[in-house]
Amino acid sequence: MGYTLCVLGCGTMGIAILSGVIDSLDVHSRVPVVLHKWESHTPGTTTPVGLPDASTPTRFIACVSRAKSAAKLRTVFDGLGSLGKNTEIVASQNVDAVKQSDVVLLCCKPQLAHSILSESGLYEALEGKLLISILAGVTISQLTNWVHPRTKVIRAMPNTPCKIREGMTVVSTISASNDMEVDHAIILKIFSSIGRCRFLEEKHFDACTALSGSGPAFACIFLEAMADGGVMMGLPRAEALELAAQTLQGAARMVLQAGAHPAQIKDSVTTPGGCTIAGLLALEDGRVRSTIARGIQIATERASELGQPAKKQ
């Protein structure tokens, strides 16, 4: 069983998704199983290695346009031990790659989508297949107009932490088709193996693009600024970065795993008359909350423009 997954436009995000998925397959066949420290694990237990089911991708084709990018990808996937085993890299062979595939993950730049999908032969090659677009700002309705009527189009908005299987992906499907049950299983298998996956209506996609798609960049600005503060006060750079990153991860996990409200976590840290409230007031003086929230607003507005014909892109 299993199927072939083609990544059409395998750059930053294509690599992140593919390497996360390949790693997840590897983990499922590793003995003994390696789990995160917060998961229950009986030492010495093993994971049963079963045959892949119909929703598991077992062969991968990564497509790029330039030979130089293909060479870079070969190094990446060789390093993961998958090159020549279950992963092929091709340059300028989109139609042939799509013909050989069952599911196509469209990961090119939004402004290239129309021309890539209009290449002679691609329309036919995509007939009856599942096309998952991760493009910011390009709607299901636009994509549907560019492909064969029997191509099943869905949108997904993942983020770069998919690479380490800590991604956040939002998925939108437009309508049920005969195969939709299988398609849901396929979608969940891909994106749940590389992080969290949630289905939402397409009307929310630009906000999701800004919040979780662009989010790692915003989070890293905050992380870097926290570390800079530590360095300003004499901490070595490496330790300051470790403290900042682990602290942000810990706080985020308290929200995600323990179900704590962010305000509750903040209040529990804030001793009356202590140093936390002194720091919080300084942050509020800099309008930190509205600045961050406005950043998401502006990014959402920009995301909505990305699929439109070129203006000032």
Ligand X SMILES: O=C(O)[C@@H]1CCC=N1
Residue ranges in 225-284 that form contacts with ligand NDP under rule CB under 6 A? none
Residue 63 interacts, among ligand X, ligand NDP, none and using kind-specific CB cut-offs from 5 to 8 Å, with ligand NDP
130 is an annotated ligand-binding site residue? no
Residue 94 interacts, among ligand X, ligand NDP, none and using kind-specific CB cut-offs from 5 to 8 Å, with ligand NDP
Residue 135 interacts, among ligand X, ligand NDP, none and using kind-specific CB cut-offs from 5 to 8 Å, with ligand NDP
195 is an annotated ligand-binding site residue? no
Residue 125 interacts, among ligand X, ligand NDP, none and using kind-specific CB cut-offs from 5 to 8 Å, with none
SS3 letters across the chain: CCEEEEEECCCHHHHHHHHHHHHHHHHHCCCCCCCCCCCCCCCCCCCCCCCCCCCCEEEEEEEECCHHHHHHHHHHHHHCCCECCCEEEEECCHHHHHHCCCEEEECCCHHHHHHHHCCCCHHHHCCCCEEEECCCCCCHHHHHHHCCCCCEEEEEECCHHHHHCCEEEEEEECCCCCCHHHHHHHHHHHHHCCEEEEECCHHHHHHHHHHHHCHHHHHHHHHHHHHHHHHHCCCCHHHHHHHHHHHHHHHHHHHHCCCCCHHHHHHHHCCCCCHHHHHHHHHHHCCHHHHHHHHHHHHHHHHHHCCCCCCCC
Residue 9 interacts, among ligand NDP, ligand X, none and using kind-specific CB cut-offs from 5 to 8 Å, with ligand NDP
Residue ranges in 108-137 that form contacts with ligand NDP under rule CB under 6 A? 108-110, 112, 116, 134-136
Residue ranges in 140-199 that form contacts with ligand NDP under rule CB under 6 A? 157-160
276 is an annotated ligand-binding site residue? no
232 is an annotated ligand-binding site residue? no
307 is an annotated ligand-binding site residue? no
20 in contact with ligand NDP (CB under 6 A): no
Binding site residues, ligand X, CB under 6 A: 136, 209, 213-214
If binding means CB under 6 A, how many residues of this protein chain bind ligand NDP? 27
Give the nearest distance from C-beta 134 to ligand X in angstroms: 9
Residues that bind ligand NDP (CB under 6 A): 8-14, 63-66, 69, 94, 107-110, 112, 116, 134-136, 157-160, 213
